[in-house]
């Protein structure tokens, strides 16, 4: 639409002079300098017109009439331009160049016309502090390249181009820091994003100092190009910016003029498509066809210079020391060399002279696996032999095999598989310089040309070869690299350790800032692939053309790589022998087997144990799994099978954590950076299962060109697969990225140590105070994990504890949280604590978790009901028995029978008591009468008491003799009246003459 409006305006300018009234005449006729030619928009037939456009409308008359133009698809070749007067292609003059149907932007002293930089914030909080705005963030021209922002603001570099035919855009970039997201995408004139695959939208990381080239096809019509950066800056970390240069667009209709060569370059012949850089010690101006030499006596110029500079007096910063290679006598010495190219002057006032070399000294010994054979150089031992570097190479004994690898601890010359270089983004002064220098017992960073140079050291490993006895199918570790280093800095130096797998992209494994004490770092390779390890040292990241911190240095004392496929051997290790007696050749052991030191045979590790990758020979190489854990069938790792049992006293609790799910996720936050950018930390946790059920954290902004199949096989890809991992999530924003971004995925735990109700396991503490408990009826279960990957703040690696707590009021999935005192999940940066509360963490139900309630008897029926014991602290397992209804008649009969028997017995006892009481009274009375009668005749003593009570008469006693046949009651009385085992009968005699008692 803008092109159409421009065409209407131009047409109006052409027609305007023709519409003047007859009485008005122009002052003069137009000449070729008063106008220029342009083409109109193409019509539906693909045709267009050439029209003349006045430089100053109305200043002259007599403009040329519109003529038929070339076809819309017409274009000139590279090195030519379209001469509009004749509408023919013409060669560019010397000192200029043309791409024909393309345009190039390679000079960035200022932002070229048509480019714009737009900054927005990822944070969408309208109430954030105004000081945290992104108004100062932009792409900055730096002469030969553009530099992106260094903060978390989203900054877009925008350029719109209209193509008459299909074309492409190509540019070079540096993208060294994964903390900064970098994407390139295209929109049409309706602001709709073009369809792009992920590998053309998200740019891959590059090596420090390495330029990568990226090409994307363009469609005909309007294309709006976006280069967008943005990230999350946490703490005091400084993000490395993205660099961009040499943007070239193909597919434009034509170019009506040639571009002059920029200063420092030239084109000596007509029809050039590029300009060459001026050689060293020469310079050129704008649009030059040749370069002018400098007066090298007092001046110098770098390659591609626009002027000559005066040579300064030499100083200590202009030379460096090295150790010479060993001579034929086995001697070496320290010598000093000028930094090349030498730009300083000697013999002038204040100039330093080159110091003399040191005294000769004995060369260091050969590295392990090498021998010198009385020569000045060290050679690798032949295959199958070994040496400690001091002795001649020896053959490995029978039943052993050489341990392959590199072990560099003496530095006389750089090993053949290592390279060193120097690189500076802003200039090429150090391109030919040596980045690192050998210094007998260590290798240290070189002088460089300026303080912000990258001093690079690289070692390439073509692959890894496991010992014969180790199965590649069960290997959890294919090799490892270990190096010992230190840094001494007065500025803000940084030391990088990087890795490049399969030449895909270079990732920063670890970095250290400022001075670091002498320490050792180890990285483990879990995939077998070619890899390049790179060390880079930068004294400061601030642009600099001078060297102020030349004494800031990084030193590497030793580098060891195990199982390198082209390595040498410093020792031999035992191996398994063939079962054939006549053969002593080493054979591979099946997965999970170790070598028996006595029989040299392969024996399987015991159940629930894992095989250490670097363990000792023999059964000691099998390590038992921790509590409540088991090993996989290949004995590679230990894991939980989701079942846990705890016994306390005579009570056993059984847990089944599979109800919690295969993995748990937690996103805590939000958090905000210093500029207000919102981000989250997402944790993925896998409690149970082996390799097939690991938690996965995946980046969606880097290395996306690696296919999913490759990403699973190659280390350094964008996916982290382990027990516990963490990702940084940047939410989608209308002003920022169109979708949520996941980046900075890290491994927190790759080893399962065990599960227990204790608070400590292998030195890792659970800290129960972080999660206060309300009830202790069911104990918390702690899952302990560890990662052996060391970091700058956690040299011995990270650890993690997942605390599971039973809460019957929650769902089986429950909630996963971190301590309120440590919202990042860790209080010290090394030990992470997670709290998983759910009903799925409750023990399995058993019969002791419910009880019986008996209902009342109604209508001869009674209910038998089982209910859970409250509070119910179990899940699954045993279920409640069903409700039962049973008849209650039999029970009532026995109750009635028992009640009747009880009543009868009570009545009987009361009756007997009354009877015997009365009987006792009668006997007492009779006895008294008997005593009284005896006293009258025999003068016996008088009874103490009278048996006849007042109110009683003798006449009341019966006079007649009564004889009764003993009845049942009488028999009972007789039994009760027995004395001394004799029975008796009571007969009462009654006569008128005698009152005596007769006993028979």
Q: Where are the beta strands (DSSP E) in 399-552?
A: 400-408, 418-423, 436-438, 443-445, 454-461, 479-488, 494-501, 506-513, 516-525, 531-538
> Which residues are CB-contacts of 686 (< 8 A; sequence separation ≥ 6)?
662, 663, 693, 694, 695, 722, 723, 724
* Per-residue pLDDT reduced to its tens digit, 448-471: 878 888 899 999 999 998 888 776
Rounded CA gap, 484 and 985, in Å?
Answer: 124
> Which residues are CB-contacts of 264 (< 8 A; sequence separation ≥ 6)?
277, 278, 283, 284, 304, 305, 306
Residue with tokens 């040292």: 537
pLDDT of residue 152: 76
Q: What percent of the chain has pLDDT over 70?
A: 82
Cα(first)–Cα(last) distance of the chain, in Å?
154
Topology adopted by domain 364-571: Jelly Rolls (2.60.120)
The average pLDDT across 435-453 equals 87
* Per-residue pLDDT reduced to its tens digit, 266-322: 999 999 988 999 998 999 999 999 999 999 999 999 888 899 999 999 988 788 888
Least confident span in 8-17, 293-302, 769-778: 8-17
pLDDT of residue 759: 92
The average pLDDT across 688-692 equals 84
Q: Residue 783 has which token pair? A: 């899952």
The CATH classification number of 644-698+720-842 equals 2.70.130
Domain 102-121+138-252 has CATH 3.90.1150.10: no
* Per-residue pLDDT reduced to its tens digit, 789-838: 777 678 778 999 999 999 988 988 889 999 988 888 888 889 999 999 99
728, 672 contact by CB (below 8 A): no
pLDDT of residue 584: 63
Q: Residue 608 has which token pair? A: 């629930």
Residue with tokens 């010690």: 281
595, 617 contact by CB (below 8 A): yes
pLDDT of residue 734: 46
Dihedral, 608, 614, 616, 619 alpha carbons, nearest 10: 20
Least confident span in 57-66, 592-601, 898-907, 936-945: 936-945
627, 754 contact by CB (below 8 A): yes
pLDDT of residue 644: 94
Mean pLDDT of the chain: 80
pLDDT of residue 668: 81
The average pLDDT across 965-979 equals 53
Dihedral, 912, 914, 918, 921 alpha carbons, nearest 10: 100
Would you say residue 129 has pLDDT above 90? no
Rounded CA gap, 568 and 380, in Å?
Answer: 6
* Per-residue pLDDT reduced to its tens digit, 938-957: 454 444 444 444 444 444 44
DSSP class of residue 234? Answer: -
DSSP class of residue 86? Answer: T
The reported pTM is 0.69
Would you say residue 738 has pLDDT above 70? no
Residue 2 pLDDT level (bands cut at 50, 70, 90): very low
The average pLDDT across 105-113 equals 86
The average pLDDT across 52-69 equals 85
Q: Under DSSP, is residue 753 helix (H, G, I), strand (E, B) or coil?
A: strand
**Closest C-alpha to 868, from 857, 884, 852:** 852
Helix (H) or strand (E) holding 915: helix 889-938
529, 510 contact by CB (below 8 A): no
Helix (H) or strand (E) holding 971: helix 968-976
**Closest C-alpha to 729, from 798, 674, 661, 681:** 681
Would you say residue 410 has pLDDT above 70? yes
The average pLDDT across 432-447 equals 87
CA angle 539, 540, 545 (to 5 degrees): 95
pLDDT of residue 114: 87
Q: How far is CA 3 from CA 10, 41, 42, 65, 82, in A?
A: 10, 8, 11, 21, 20
The average pLDDT across 487-515 equals 86
Would you say residue 164 has pLDDT above 80? no
């Amino acid at each position: 639409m803008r092109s159409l409006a421009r065409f209407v305006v131009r047409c109006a300018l052409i027609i305007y002079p023709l519409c003047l009234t007859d009485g008005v005449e122009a002052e003069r006729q137009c000449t070729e300098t008063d106008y220029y030619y342009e083409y109109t928009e193409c019509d539906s037939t693909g045709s267009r017109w050439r029209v003349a456009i006045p430089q100053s409308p109305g200043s002259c008359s007599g403009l040329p009439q519109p003529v038929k133009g070339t076809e819309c698809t017409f274009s000139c070749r590279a090195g030519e331009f379209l001469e509009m007067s004749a509408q023919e292609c013409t060669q560019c003059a010397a000192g200029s160049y043309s791409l024909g149907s393309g345009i190039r932007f390679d000079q960035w002293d200022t932002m070229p016309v048509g480019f714009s930089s737009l900054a927005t914030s990822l944070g969408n909080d309208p109430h954030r502090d105004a000081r945290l705005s992104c108004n100062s963030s932009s792409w900055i021209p730096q002469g030969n390249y553009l530099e992106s922002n260094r903060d978390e603001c989203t900054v877009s570099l925008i350029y719109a181009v209209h193509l008459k035919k299909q074309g492409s855009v190509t540019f070079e970039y540096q993208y060294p820091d994964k903390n900064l997201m970098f994407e390139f995408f295209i929109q049409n004139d309706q602001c709709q994003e073009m369809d792009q695959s992920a590998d053309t939208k998200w740019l891959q990381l590059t090596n420090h100092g390495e330029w990568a080239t990226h090409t994307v096809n363009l469609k005909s019509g309007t294309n709006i190009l976006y280069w967008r950066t943005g990230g999350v800056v946490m703490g005091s970390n400084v993000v490395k910016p993205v660099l961009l240069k040499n943007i070239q667009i193909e597919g434009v209709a034509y170019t009506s003029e040639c571009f002059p060569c920029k200063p420092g370059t030239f084109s000596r012949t007509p029809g050039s498509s590029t300009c060459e850089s001026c050689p060293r010690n020469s310079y050129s101006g704008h649009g030059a066809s040749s370069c002018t030499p400098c007066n090298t006596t007092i001046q110098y110029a770098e390659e591609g210079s626009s002027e000559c500079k005066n040579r300064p007096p030499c100083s200590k910063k202009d030379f460096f020391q090295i150790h010479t290679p060993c001579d034929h006598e086995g001697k070496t010495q320290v010598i000093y060399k000028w930094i090349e190219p030498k730009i300083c002057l000697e013999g002038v006032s204040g100039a330093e002279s080159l110091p003399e070399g040191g005294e000769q000294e004995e060369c260091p010994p050969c590295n392990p696996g090498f021998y010198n054979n009385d020569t000045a150089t060290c050679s690798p031992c032949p295959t199958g032999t070994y040496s400690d570097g001091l002795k001649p190479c020896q053959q490995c004994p029978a039943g052993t095999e050489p341990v392959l690898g590199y072990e560099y601890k003496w530095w006389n010359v750089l090993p053949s598989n290592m390279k060193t270089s120097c690189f500076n983004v802003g200039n090429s002064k150090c391109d030919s310089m040596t980045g690192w220098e050998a210094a007998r017992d260590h290798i240290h960073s070189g002088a460089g040309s300026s303080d912000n140079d990258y001093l690079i050291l690289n070692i390439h490993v073509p692959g890894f070869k496991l010992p014969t006895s180790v199965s590649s199918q069960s290997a959890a570790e294919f090799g490892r690299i270990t190096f010992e280093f230190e840094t001494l800095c007065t500025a803000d130096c940084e030391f990088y350790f990087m890795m490049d797998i399969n030449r895909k992209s270079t990732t920063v494994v670890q970095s250290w800032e400022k001075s670091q004490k002498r320490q050792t770092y180890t990285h483990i390779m879990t995939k077998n692939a070619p890899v390049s390890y790179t060390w880079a040292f930068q004294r400061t990241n601030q642009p600099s053309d001078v060297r102020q911190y030349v004494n800031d240095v990084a030193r590497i004392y030793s580098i060891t790589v195990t199982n390198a496929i082209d390595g040498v051997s410093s020792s031999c290790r035992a191996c398994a022998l063939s079962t054939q007696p006549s053969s002593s050749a080493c054979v591979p052991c099946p997965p999970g087997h170790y070598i028996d030191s006595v029989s040299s045979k392969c024996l399987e590790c015991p159940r629930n144990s894992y095989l250490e990758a670097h363990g000792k020979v023999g059964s000691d190489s099998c390590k038992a799994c921790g509590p409540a854990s088991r090993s996989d069938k290949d004995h590679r790792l230990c894991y939980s099978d989701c079942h846990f049992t705890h016994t306390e006293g005579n009570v056993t609790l059984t847990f089944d954590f599979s109800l919690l799910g295969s993995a748990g996720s937690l996103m805590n936050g939000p958090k905000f950076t210093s500029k207000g950018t919102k981000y989250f930390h997402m944790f993925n946790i896998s409690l149970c299962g082996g390799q097939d059920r690991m938690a996965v954290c995946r980046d969606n902004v880097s290395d996306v060109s690696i296919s999913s199949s490759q990403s699973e096989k190659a280390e350094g890809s964008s996916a982290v697969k382990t027990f516990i991992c963490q990702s940084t999530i940047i939410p989608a924003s209308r002003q920022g990225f169109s979708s949520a971004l996941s980046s900075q995925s890290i491994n927190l735990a790759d080893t399962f140590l065990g599960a227990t109700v204790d608070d400590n396991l292998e030195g890792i503490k659970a800290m129960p105070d972080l999660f206060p408990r309300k009830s202790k009826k069911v104990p918390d279960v702690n899952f302990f994990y560890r990662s052996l990957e060391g970091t700058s703040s956690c040299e011995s690696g990270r650890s993690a504890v997942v605390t599971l707590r039973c809460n019957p009021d929650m769902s089986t999935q429950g909630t996963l949280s971190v301590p309120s005192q440590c919202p990042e999940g860790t209080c010290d940066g090394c030990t992470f604590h997670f709290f998983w509360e759910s009903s799925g963490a409750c023990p399995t139900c058993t019969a002791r978790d419910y009880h019986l309630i008996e209902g009342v008897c109604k209508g001869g029926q009674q209910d038998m009901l089982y209910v859970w014991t409250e509070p119910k602290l179990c899940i699954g397992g045993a279920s409640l028995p069903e409700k039962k209804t049973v008849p209650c008649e039999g029970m009532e009969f026995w109750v009635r029978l028992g009640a009747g028997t009880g009543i009868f017995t009570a009545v009987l006892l009361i009756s007997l008591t009354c009877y015997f009481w009365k009987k006792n009274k009668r006997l007492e009375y009779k006895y008294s009468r008997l005593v009284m009668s005896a006293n009258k005749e025999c003068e016996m003593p008088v009874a103490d008491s009278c048996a006849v009570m007042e109110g009683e008469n003798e006449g009341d006693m019966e006079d007649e003799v009564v004889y009764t046949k003993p009845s049942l009651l009488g028999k009972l009385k007789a039994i009760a009246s027995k004395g001394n085992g004799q029975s008796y009968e009571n007969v009462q005699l009654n006569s008128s003459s005698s009152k005596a008692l007769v006993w028979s």
